[in-house]
Amino acid sequence: MSFRLRALALLMFIAVTATTATAWLTLRQATTQVWETASAEQDDIQQITTELRDYGTLHGTWHGLPETVRRLAEDTGQRIRITSDSDGSIVADSDIRAGHTPRRTGSGTPFLIDSRPDLQLPNHFGAAKITVTAIADYHTQTRYAACLTKAGIPIQTTADPLHGLPVVRTKPPARTGCVREAYPDARFVADAAAAEACRPSTEPGPCLRRLFEQRTNDVAPPRLQVRLGAVDDAPPTLAATPVIVVAAGVGTLVILSALILGRTVLRPVRALTQATRSLGSGDLGHRVPAAGRDEIAQLARAFNRMADSLQVSEERQRRLTGDIAHELRTPLANLRGYLEALRDGILTPTPDLLHALHGEAMLQQRIVDDLQDLALAEAGALTYHRTTIDLRELLHACHTAHAAQAAAAGITLEVRAEELVWAEGDHDRLRQALGNLVTNALRATPPGGTVTIALSRTAAHATIHVRDTGSGIPADHLPRLFDRFWRADPARGRTTGGSGLGLAITRQIITDHHGTITVDSTVGTGTTFTTTIPTQRMRPPHTAHDSQVSADHPARRNE
């Protein structure tokens, strides 16, 4: 049996059973239940009492209470009438709020609402001091909350850990004029004297709580009398015919809903099934419609995102394979030609020729090593030995390693690092990344130019700038500058332009150090690479030599 038929049969069974049981129970119990609901249920009383008390505690006034009473009447189905316990004036009436003529209330005993919170007192000599503080805080917070409420500003409170009273955290605009008024010193002294009078008592807790009630009467919202229900409501009766009609209508609606549900659910499921089969057979371009916001639409969008990701990964893998083949084809063909010429006796194996062949082989080894580093870095498997690093020493070490290359090219290589800056990271990997940037800058700078390595620091980050006075990079080339096997100058080959992987490796190393790298270039002026990594405030004493790296052992650099 198909899913649609099974779902339809199940829903029909549930609908018939539910409507039959509902009709029988309704005819049997409806009248009794209507009479019982005329009086307030204990749960309703508890809900109304709790919410009214919480309102007064939070707002410090009964201003705005009618809206809460209207909502409580809708939630509980009760008619609610609230009057002041002191003078009997009406504070709120759900009938008036609903626009009806007020009905007579029930004859039951009203219950009282006192919004003052229960004072939490410890069982030791500090209870008197806490009571005095609670009285002052209650006066201040209640007046402040009442002002905010009348100004229409939402109130946020937290409980004071000392005495458990609410503390208003809302900061209103200055235009409201609501401020926390200071509690008068004279009243504070009087409260303290009255609290001391409770000390000789064998049970100071009740005495202090009575004192709290007496001293807060002038600021606390007045106590309320709450009455529920109305005496002139005629309880409705439930006729059998309407119940049967409603039950039949419900059953029909459930069956129609089942048919619509089956059509709505199964159609996208079939589309997803077909798309999954196409994806499994290698058709990465297949997508499914994803309309709406329900779970099926979310599943369809997730499937499309997965297919997009697979397609992008496939294209990247295909492009990477082509790039690797392109990079290795020409040098390997050269090596093969020279080796065949040597084998056939066409060329004589002179030291210069062997040195050139060895250099070409090292270039290929370098590409392979760079690819391995990049693959490990992108997979998060590149090993880092993190220590505390002196970044100023790192810049000078990089300068020493590249000084000969710069001098041979007639380029001035300078370091600007006056401030001592510490960072957490792998010294060799950071030197490798910085070396890649310096090497590229030297290649791009003509004789007589300048390459500058500068170090600066902000509150939490160190910034390293590598600037050159070369030809610059066009703006449309900058977005692809960190792509693998991509060179801004097509005329630069592997011998003069590197493997095309150095910047990709550099970006990954900086990213793994929780840093960023950006580039800014102007054609005819030069290029600046800016690297930012987090710093440390100070160097731990036990890491005095952790970041030292010998100048005669430079880190391997990849361009």
Burial code (b: 16+ CB inside 10 Å, e: under 16) for 310-336 equals eeeeeeeeeeeeebeeebeeebeeeee
Single out the residue in 178, 205, 228 at which a domain terminates: 228
Q: Is 132 found in the same domain as 243? A: no
Q: 138 lies in a domain? A: yes
Specify the pLDDT at position 229: 77
Q: Is 524 found in the same domain as 493? A: yes
Phi and psi at residue 536, in whole multiples of 5°? -110, 150
Q: Is 432 found in the same domain as 467? A: yes
Q: Is 250 found in the same domain as 214? A: no
Q: Is 470 found in the same domain as 528? A: yes
Specify the pLDDT at position 448: 93
Q: Is 27 found in the same domain as 7? A: yes
Q: Is 55 found in the same domain as 169? A: yes
User: Alpha carbon 192 to chain centroid distance?
Assistant: 49
What the block records as the tokens of 299 is: 């599943």
Question: Residue 244's beta-bridge partner residues?
Answer: none
How far is 211 from 139, CA to CA, in rounded Å?
A: 14
Residues whose CB is less than 8 angstroms from the CB of residue 109 and which lie 6 or more positions away in sequence, other chains included? none
Q: 279 lies in a domain? A: no
Specify the pLDDT at position 492: 43
Specify the pLDDT at position 549: 36
How far is 83 from 529, CA to CA, in rounded Å?
A: 75
Do the Cβ atoms of 487 and 497 come closer than 8 Å?
A: yes
Q: 290 lies in a domain? A: no
Q: 72 lies in a domain? A: yes
The CA dihedral of 39, 43, 46, 49, to the nearest 10 degrees, is -50
Specify the pLDDT at position 556: 36
Q: 550 lies in a domain? A: no
Closest to 114 in 3D by CA, of 225, 189, 249, 39: 225
Note the pLDDT tens digit of each residue in 391-400: 999 999 889 8
Amino acid symbol at 341: A
**Is the pTM higher than 0.75?**
no
Phi and psi at residue 156, in whole multiples of 5°? -120, 135
Q: 8 lies in a domain? A: yes
List the chain pLDDT tens, one digit each, 559 residues: 554 566 677 677 777 777 776 777 677 666 665 555 545 467 888 888 888 888 888 888 888 888 888 888 888 888 888 888 888 888 888 888 888 888 887 667 788 888 888 777 776 667 888 888 888 888 888 888 888 888 888 888 888 777 778 888 888 777 777 888 888 888 888 888 888 888 776 677 888 888 888 888 888 888 888 888 776 655 555 556 666 776 777 778 778 777 776 676 677 777 888 888 887 777 777 788 877 776 777 888 888 888 888 887 777 677 666 666 766 676 777 778 878 888 888 888 888 778 777 777 776 776 677 677 767 766 666 678 889 999 999 999 889 888 988 999 999 999 998 888 999 998 888 988 898 899 889 988 999 999 999 999 888 899 999 999 988 888 888 877 877 665 555 444 444 445 567 788 888 889 989 999 999 998 988 999 999 999 876 555 444 334 343 333 333 333 3
Give the chain's mean pLDDT. 78
Q: How many CB atoms lie within 10 A of CB 495?
A: 10
The number of domains in the chain is: 3
What the block records as the tokens of 522 is: 């102007």
Q: Is 214 found in the same domain as 176? A: yes
Q: Is 184 found in the same domain as 246? A: no
Q: Is 72 found in the same domain as 12? A: no
Phi and psi at residue 86, in whole multiples of 5°? -85, -45
Residues whose CB is less than 8 angstroms from the CB of residue 496 and which lie 6 or more positions away in sequence, other chains included? 443
Specify the pLDDT at position 374: 66
Specify the pLDDT at position 558: 37
Q: Is 113 found in the same domain as 60? A: yes
Structural domain boundaries, residue 28: 3-38+238-264
Do the Cβ atoms of 377 and 508 come closer than 8 Å?
A: yes
Residues whose CB is less than 8 angstroms from the CB of residue 227 and which lie 6 or more positions away in sequence, other chains included? 80, 81, 82, 83, 105, 106, 108, 110
